[in-house]
Structure 1
Amino acid sequence: MRKGDGVTYEPADGGLPTEENWDTGAYLDFVPTYMAAVRDKFGYGFQLLHDVHHRLSPIEAARLGKSLEPYRMFWIEDPTPAEDQEAFRLIRQHTTTPLAVGEIFNSIWDCQHLITNRLIDYVRTSVSHAGGISHLRKIFALAELYGVRSGSHGAGDLSPVSFAAALHVDLSVQNFGMQEYMGHLSPSEDVFHTSWTFEDGLMHPGNTPGIGVDFDEQAAERFPYTPKYLPVNRLRDGSVHDW
């Protein structure tokens, strides 16, 4: 999966965080109409995925999932704050829309309850967040026993090393589902030399030894660290909400 229309998506920016506004009611009314318009125009010959960014309560997420059922979503991602694993039981009771979560998980214990109780359909844990290839393999092995598939996080703020490792894990598991791919902003290509290719929505890790990434330390010295921040989300009354 790659977000954007041929342009690498990166929400973080320099300077002070951007402030955005959020209205849950308006969102819940709008999203089904948006998905309906997409299906009406382009049909059902491709997959639709939607990221909720942890912004809903469990019952709000249940309402969203129910309203999206006619549009055959591949998944809705992070519908509620991921730390509350039991919240997914309420969502599951009200909708058949597939559920994905896990990009902020750090260990198998963050998702053990979700997997063994079949409360999700895709686990989104990434190589770099889960402590490496070995631990991520443990998560996916547990998920395989319960019919949960992989859907690893692949945002641009995860390095090309992390992404290359994810591709190799994807090839090694029986329950592969989806690999998120968002690309990397310049000047990453000057520092990391990669062997993977992306064509027609599919990734290939390439044939370079190892995980297929070389790191140019001299090139990296030309690009000192520049802090960037994700946006801040505010409700209509000005209070801070999950971004």
Structure 2
Amino acid sequence: VADIEDVWQSSYVSSYWRNGPVLNNALSGVDQALWDIKGKVAGMPVYDLLGGKSREAAAVYVIPKGGSRTEYEEDIQALLEQGFHHLKLGSWHPDRPEDEGPRVVTPKTSDDRVSLFEPAPHARDIVGAFEHFRTTFGANPEILYDVHERLPPIQGVALAKDVEQYKPFFLEDVLSPEDNDYHRLIREQTCTPLAMGELYSNPQEMVPMVKDRLIDFIRVHVSTIGGITPARKLAALCEAFNVRTAWHGSADVSPVGHASNFMLDMNVWNFGIQEASCYKNTHKTLKEVFPGVPEVRNGYMWPSGKPGHGVDLNEELAARFPPKNIGGRKLWGDARRNDGTVIRP
């Protein structure tokens, strides 16, 4: 723990090949653990080791859910009443007639075509979701939307223009990393705020987007770039170009991973927003298995001030909850167009 930087740098080149998501996630496991141990040895939260707090709490966003329009709207209303001000609208459009094309992801029974997806109906649905939200819930709640890159680049440009009138907080992952240069075209035609980075694992994917101010929020998955050590450097780079952080924090990120994100959120000046999916409804069991998880109230995540990441793991209790088998469905590789073409996220 005395040489976290040296451990990171030597591990980074240990296999010669580098910057892949598998190696980076393994490296991140070591890195995040070392920062946690160092904080506990020092009796300080990790954000204090990084230089201290820049704020008292971190604003978060969550994702409404529902099996019908009524359920979806009821969940949105409940979240607003709980104090959440930032909501990310997901790929949910259950009321579109089938003759307008398949829904965003429509399950199929055959093994080789698990789901169907068509970009044009998807883009129309997104605009409709924005319009319906603003009509129903007004101008005050902040809307975020995750496109998940599945549109052809020129349709992504058109979408960013179409939703500008609804004042989104940001539009996320409009384009695939392979299409990064198209962000210049979006910038020339609209002021819709853009968030990007969930699929990035190589610094050279991020640097041009930041230095050329092609995005407003950097949304990398902290473990996929190698942990806290590189993430704090990325945040410092972004600060120089007024790009804010919005670390990826989906429901498949563990409470320990969320706590690691949160340590950075509390420290960096250019923090923007934090995805906090697993804290939408913090279950009692979650708090028991991971004692010390941050408190979320009134749309903010609040630090406990405990050493390290502030979170522990009850291994004995965790053993009672083995991973569930979610089946063989490979959502990202099996989403296809009507003609069978694989859709690239």
TM range (shorter): 0.7 to 0.9
Look up the SS of the partner of 2:258 in the other structure: helix
Look up the SS of the partner of 1:34 in the other structure: helix
The aligned amino acid for 1:242 is R
Q: Which of 207, 215, 219 is the matching residue for 2:313?
A: 215
Deviation at 1:78, TM superposition (A): 0.5
TM alignment of 1:41-52, pairs within 5 A: 41-52=136-147
User: 2:286 and 2:325 mapped to 1: Cα distance?
Assistant: 16
Larger radius of gyration: 2
User: 1:92 and 1:58 mapped to 2: Cα distance?
Assistant: 13
1:3 aligns with 2:63: yes
The superposition leaves residues 3-52 of structure 1 with CA deviations (integer Å, 9 ceiling, x where unpaired) of 12379x9xxxxxx8993321211122232222112112221111111100
| C-alpha distance 105-44 of structure 1, shift in aligned 2 (>3 A) | same
Look up the SS of the partner of 2:208 in the other structure: helix
The superposition leaves residues 159-182 of structure 1 with CA deviations (integer Å, 9 ceiling, x where unpaired) of 111110111101111111110010
> More displaced, 87-96 or 177-186?
177-186
TM alignment of 1:31-180, pairs within 5 A: 31-180=126-275
Q: Which of 269, 276, 297 is the matching residue for 1:199?
A: 297
Q: Pick the structure with more helix per residue.
A: 2
Q: Is the 1:49–1:75 contact (alpha carbons within 8 Å) kept by the matching residues of 2?
A: yes
Deviation at 1:140, TM superposition (A): 0.9
User: 2:162 and 2:120 mapped to 1: Cα distance?
Assistant: 13
The aligned amino acid for 1:211 is H
Look up the SS of the partner of 1:27 in the other structure: helix
The aligned amino acid for 1:155 is S
Q: Is the 2:163–2:192 contact (alpha carbons within 8 Å) kept by the matching residues of 1?
A: yes
The superposition leaves residues 189-233 of structure 1 with CA deviations (integer Å, 9 ceiling, x where unpaired) of 453223301112111122222111101222333344445455232
Q: Which of 2, 5, 29 is the matching residue for 2:124?
A: 29
Deviation at 1:188, TM superposition (A): 4.7
User: 1:124 and 1:17 mapped to 2: Cα distance?
Assistant: 32
> More displaced, 182-191 or 83-92?
182-191
- TM-score w.r.t. the length of structure 1 is 0.87
The aligned amino acid for 1:63 is A
| C-alpha distance 223-36 of structure 1, shift in aligned 2 (>3 A) | closer
Q: Identity over the aligned pairs, expressed in percent?
A: 35
Q: Is the 1:192–1:213 contact (alpha carbons within 8 Å) kept by the matching residues of 2?
A: yes
Deviation at 1:119, TM superposition (A): 0.6
The aligned amino acid for 2:243 is V
Look up the SS of the partner of 1:32 in the other structure: helix
| C-alpha distance 87-25 of structure 1, shift in aligned 2 (>3 A) | same
> More displaced, 61-70 or 33-42?
33-42
User: 2:311 and 2:330 mapped to 1: Cα distance?
Assistant: 27
Look up the SS of the partner of 1:48 in the other structure: strand
1:237 aligns with 2:332: no
| C-alpha distance 31-127 of structure 1, shift in aligned 2 (>3 A) | closer
| Two-structure CA RMSD over aligned residues (Å) | 2.5
Deviation at 1:125, TM superposition (A): 1.3
User: 1:157 and 1:29 mapped to 2: Cα distance?
Assistant: 28
Q: Is the 1:195–1:207 contact (alpha carbons within 8 Å) kept by the matching residues of 2?
A: no
Look up the SS of the partner of 1:195 in the other structure: coil
Where in structure 1 are there 5+ consecutive unaligned residues? 10-15
Q: Is the 1:100–1:122 contact (alpha carbons within 8 Å) kept by the matching residues of 2?
A: yes
> More displaced, 26-35 or 179-188?
179-188
Look up the SS of the partner of 2:115 in the other structure: strand
- TM-score w.r.t. the length of structure 2 is 0.63
